[in-house]
Amino acid sequence: MLIHVVRHAHAGVRSEWHDDDERRPLTERGTKQAAAIADALADAEVDAVWSSRYVRCRQTVEPLADRRGLEVVDHPDLAEGAYGTDALDALLAAADQGIAVVACSHGDVIPDLVAAAVRRGATLDGPAVPRKADRYELVVRKGAVTEIRHVPRPRV
């Protein structure tokens, strides 16, 4: 089974946003990246779409969820500031139930998640820190991540 972990698409510069950071939306470039991510995962096995509650994360996976007829479910373990180990455990629990998840999170949570999987024995093909709109394919076998494949952000 594959779990897809996506870093949110381009959302501008945090220091230039003068409202609650949870409400910072994708830029036009980010919207194009989100559409390209949906295209790339159009034929993937996807049973659930999880996201950080932050608008930029939700907007990154909404095109995929819409295409698949799924709801985007806010998951607290994917929010900025959460622990990557908790996110990994939640994703593995879903995989144990046969649920293939696409999850969108942030640049602090995802590297922690990747590091936790590597500490548990997974191999990593690619960088441990994703750029915006990059994603990882986590190969799950017998309840553990065995391989992590980096997929570079779409060129838009």
- Report the pLDDT value the prediction gives residue 22, as an integer from 0 to 100: 74
Residue 32 lies inside a defined structural domain of this protein:
yes
Compute mean pLDDT per 10 residues along the chain, 156 residues long, and list them: 97 73 89 98 96 98 97 98 98 98 98 98 98 98 97 95
- Report the pLDDT value the prediction gives residue 14, as an integer from 0 to 100: 67
Residue 45 lies inside a defined structural domain of this protein:
yes
Residue 101 lies inside a defined structural domain of this protein:
yes
Between CA 156 and CA 145 the distance in angstroms is 30
Residue 77 lies inside a defined structural domain of this protein:
yes
- Report the pLDDT value the prediction gives residue 17, as an integer from 0 to 100: 60
CATH number of the domain at 75, please.
3.40.50.1240
Residue 121 lies inside a defined structural domain of this protein:
yes
3-state secondary structure of 97: coil
- Report the pLDDT value the prediction gives residue 15, as an integer from 0 to 100: 66
Instruction: Write out the residue range of the structural domain in which residue 144 sits.
Output: 2-151
Is residue 102 within 8 A of residue 46, CB to CB? The reply is yes
Residue 156 lies inside a defined structural domain of this protein:
no
CA atoms within a 13 Å half-sphere pointing along the CA-CB vector of 16: 5
Count of structural domains within the chain: 1
Residue 24 lies inside a defined structural domain of this protein:
yes
Taken in order 41, 10, 48, 116, the sign of the CA dihedral is positive
Only one residue has tokens 């060129």, namely 155
Residue 59 lies inside a defined structural domain of this protein:
yes
- Report the pLDDT value the prediction gives residue 16, as an integer from 0 to 100: 72
With 0.85 as the threshold, say if the pTM is over it. yes
